Structure 1
Amino acid sequence: MQFKALRSLQLLGLLACFLSIPAARAELLLQLAQTQAAAGAPVEVQGVLLNESGNPLSSPIAREIRGHWVDASGHSTPATFTLRTSPDAADLPVNTFTRVAWTGRVPPRARGLLTLSFDGAPDTLLALRVENAGPVPTQADGMLASAPAPGSRAAASAVPPVADAGTPTKVEPLSPFDTFRSAISPYDPIYFVVGRTGGATGRFQVSFKYRLFSPDDAAKPHFMDNWYLGYTQTSLWDLHSDSIPFIDTTYNPSLFWARESLWQTDDKRWFAGLNAGIEHKSNGKDGEDSRSLNDLYLQPEINRRLGSGSTLSFMPRFKAYVATEADMHYPDSLGYVDWKLRWAQDQGLVLSGLYRQGTQGRNATQLEAAWPLRRTWLNMNGYLYVQYFRGYGETLLDYNQKHDAQLRIGIALVP
């Protein structure tokens, strides 16, 4: 009983870790366009929006933002900034950034150092020195006195996501940790689900990618800026046996080139991208239970933005097995093409499906649905996640064994 209790605590601890990881979201960094200005002079607030959400962003633009100027004595003066850049809705591809700008004025009787905060974002604090002389514009970098923590609720809510076609503003150099953090983003879905067909089992997956080179202009990356290291780990967990063992785990590192938008129509309703590279899959075991394969793959991605504020994506993955034991006959069960279809609402429902055809009638189907928990009474990060699987290849260990239909329900951090 003590052993079972310990395993249950470990399970709860793992679930708590999943719940504690912040959901991927866009970061918004605010800055003033100048370090000094005269009392009553015009001043500009600029926002740099970085999309690491895993989906294209489409959001309305705030025509006006409000806040407060506070002087050294603590006196507060209301501040209003009006949109200067394009009023169109933002259409920001994944792993790119853009800017927007609002204009306002320094209080007419201000003197000395002022701080500027925004309604709804108390952790964002900008600084401006007010001189008696006329305004003295300087470089924007170095102006950011304090910004919300990346990925924090304040950063996301300071100003609604917006876009401008101009050149992104130069911002302060990132610290080594922030440089590392900004290069990591979600890759495949991250989830934990549980089902009971044939005995309780859990399935969970973690997945991320690391950008090897940081582009000088993320809106216009060069060829080398699109290389990534990827890592995905998927485990099937026996939850009904006494020792609660892991049935099998697939370790899946990869090296690939990816760009979401290589081509797009003028109205940005259609856009096409590409993901191509090499990946390794193994289950980390030896002897008769050892499974290992490598494949080169090419995955064109065709996307259609719909008027309902959603994106429909078709992403077939074509595979060629290399340096893989021929007598294991992996292609017979795992096939040469993964047919993938995905429909995702902006901040809403996500539906996806995968179909894989092997030989001699061997195939696999996986269907997934996700709904944001922020839009439920729980009002929490993550998604309510449902996964259906039937066929071959749920684990590498039993890649050539057919699995009965299994429905699992749980939580996804990235659907």
Structure 2
Amino acid sequence: MAVIRVLRANPRLSFPLGGLAAALALGLAAPADAGVSYRLDRPSAAPGEAVTIEAVYFNEGSARANWEAPPELVLQWRGSDGQIVRSLAKLRGGKASYSVPVNNFARVAWTAVVPATVNGLQAVSIEGQPAMMALDATGRETGTVASTPAQGPVVDARTGQPLPPAVVSEVGASPDGGPAPAAVAAAPAVPPESAFDRFRSAISEYKPVYFDIGTRDKTTARFQISAKYRLFSPPGDRPADWSENFYLGYTQISLWDLESDSMPFIDTTFNPSAFWLSDNIWTSPGQNWRFGLNTGVEHNSNGKDGDDSRSLNDGYIEPRFHYRFDGGSTLTFAPRVKAYFSVGDENSDYSDYAGHVDWQLRWAQDNGAVVSAMYRQGDQRRRTTQLDFAWPLKRTWLNMNGYLHLQYFNGYGETLLGYNQRNESQFRVGLSLVP
């Protein structure tokens, strides 16, 4: 059975609808039956104006769910004077059938016109659904309740007596009065962002982040850190367009000798990049298939000079094919095809060992295991394989953040310094922050 989670396209409007419902003495938000949540896009509108009814179907069941969005809804408008008016709302876009994978949602909208004969506060219901919404349909010439500030103290709902000002101030409200719902809907939801807030909202995970230890031949640690920074952030009310999918990335991977005197680093690869990335270029009608793309340029260097210096640049294109299983997991196939340029003389034969394609496969379970594999094929049967397994520690007796991480590596290029040296099978275990 599908279970509902209320998702709001614009969280700023949740208070006005709740406030109007309270004014109607109904105390009703807009929950609905069998997997659907409804809401109005605004707290007030004059008779004759168009409003939007938005619906979200969220599937939290154990199997794919099918949903038929009706092309029309019958609305009932109930005023405080007892008048009831029925009208139609029409589905936008024409699509009515959805196949929703586990832990995914479908969103649709209907357009309705506020009936010319209604006035004042209205309880708006959908026939056949227990959903109840509220709208202030007072005419513009007389002003609306939704635009009138609330003057007066906050009272105890049981006794009607004013609460102490200190109690009200603790929740961030004024003891003497509050804003109107329409003013809250129009006001910014949050204060202007600081420079740090903008940076924090633009940075996100890129490649896996982990720290692993292995003991073959000698004890070593291999760890990787990685992040990407979005150059252009889209507004919060719409998906990013193509020009807003440009990123700067940085990845660093190190091999650390934990056994020798002074525990030196064997090698570190510094990998800055610039790229375009989107995982939602195309989605199948059933929402189980998605196609994305990652393409750009990157630099790899170990930061050393002399005989130990290694550096190269490459341009790459990485198509990404995602398949969403009904059981709540995703399989991703993402081959990265690379063309090298400005390769250092000290490693001019790099492609003979690394090849030109990283064959990548990843399976990720919702809140569960993550398994990934990478395979490279160089010249003369020079093969490289890396396997990774991560399990969330929240699902163990430790109940901690992060993942238990296991890694297997066999082949060439465990470090950039040793790109032409074959590494025998190496198993490591450690902690992953981003699997």
Query: TM-score under structure 2 normalisation?
Result: 0.64
Is 1:292 matched up with 2:311?
A: yes
Percent of aligned positions that are identical: 48
Map of 1:180 onto structure 2: 199
Q: Distance in 1 between matches of 2:414 and 2:381?
A: 16
Is 1:319 matched up with 2:360?
A: no
Q: Which residues of 2 match residues 92-171 of structure 1 at below 5 A?
A: 112-113=153-154, 136-140=181-185, 142=187, 144=189
Is 1:223 matched up with 2:242?
A: yes
RMSD of aligned alpha carbons: 3.8
Map of 1:337 onto structure 2: 357
SS at match of 1:396: coil
Pairwise CA distance, 1:89: 2.7
Structure-2 change in CA distance of 1:131 and 1:356 (3 Å):
same
Map of 1:85 onto structure 2: 55
Query: TM-score under structure 1 normalisation?
Result: 0.67
Q: Distance in 2 between matches of 1:409 and 1:245?
A: 20
Map of 1:192 onto structure 2: 211
Q: Residue 384 of structure 1 is aligned with which of 394, 404, 408?
A: 404
Map of 1:202 onto structure 2: 221
Map of 2:47 onto structure 1: none
Q: Distance in 1 between matches of 2:227 and 2:388?
A: 19
Which residue identity lines up with residue 405 of structure 1 in the other structure? S
Map of 2:281 onto structure 1: 262
Deviations 1:339-380 (A, max 9, x none): 000000011000000001110111210000000000000001
Q: Distance in 2 between matches of 1:372 and 1:114?
A: 46
In structure 1, the gaps of 5 or more residues are 1-27, 47-59, 65-82, 93-97, 116-123, 145-170
Contact 2:310-2:344 within 8 A present in 1 as well:
no
Pairwise CA distance, 1:324: 1.3
Q: Distance in 1 between matches of 2:171 and 2:133?
A: 16
Deviations 1:42-83 (A, max 9, x none): 78989xxxxxxxxxxxxx97979xxxxxxxxxxxxxxxxxx9
Pairwise CA distance, 1:174: 2.7
Which residue identity lines up with residue 343 of structure 2 in the other structure? T
Is 1:414 matched up with 2:397?
A: no
Which residue identity lines up with residue 358 of structure 1 in the other structure? G
Map of 2:118 onto structure 1: none
Q: Distance in 2 between matches of 1:382 and 1:186?
A: 14
Map of 1:75 onto structure 2: none
Which residue identity lines up with residue 339 of structure 1 in the other structure? W
Contact 1:208-1:232 within 8 A present in 2 as well:
yes
Map of 1:23 onto structure 2: none
Map of 1:309 onto structure 2: 328
SS at match of 1:137: helix
Is 1:243 matched up with 2:284?
A: no
Q: Which has the higher contact order (CA 8 A, sep 6+)?
A: 1
Pairwise CA distance, 1:217: 4.7
Which residue identity lines up with residue 360 of structure 2 in the other structure? K
Deviations 1:76-133 (A, max 9, x none): xxxxxxx9832323889xxxxx999x9789xxxx963489xxxxxxxx9686999899
SS at match of 2:286: coil
Q: Distance in 2 between matches of 1:61 and 1:190?
A: 36
In structure 2, the gaps of 5 or more residues are 1-8, 39-52, 61-99, 102-106, 110-130, 135-150, 157-169
Map of 1:214 onto structure 2: 233
Map of 2:417 onto structure 1: 397
Which residue identity lines up with residue 183 of structure 2 in the other structure? T
Structure-2 change in CA distance of 1:141 and 1:249 (3 Å):
farther
Q: Distance in 2 between matches of 1:173 and 1:35?
A: 22
SS at match of 1:87: strand
Structure-2 change in CA distance of 1:142 and 1:389 (3 Å):
same
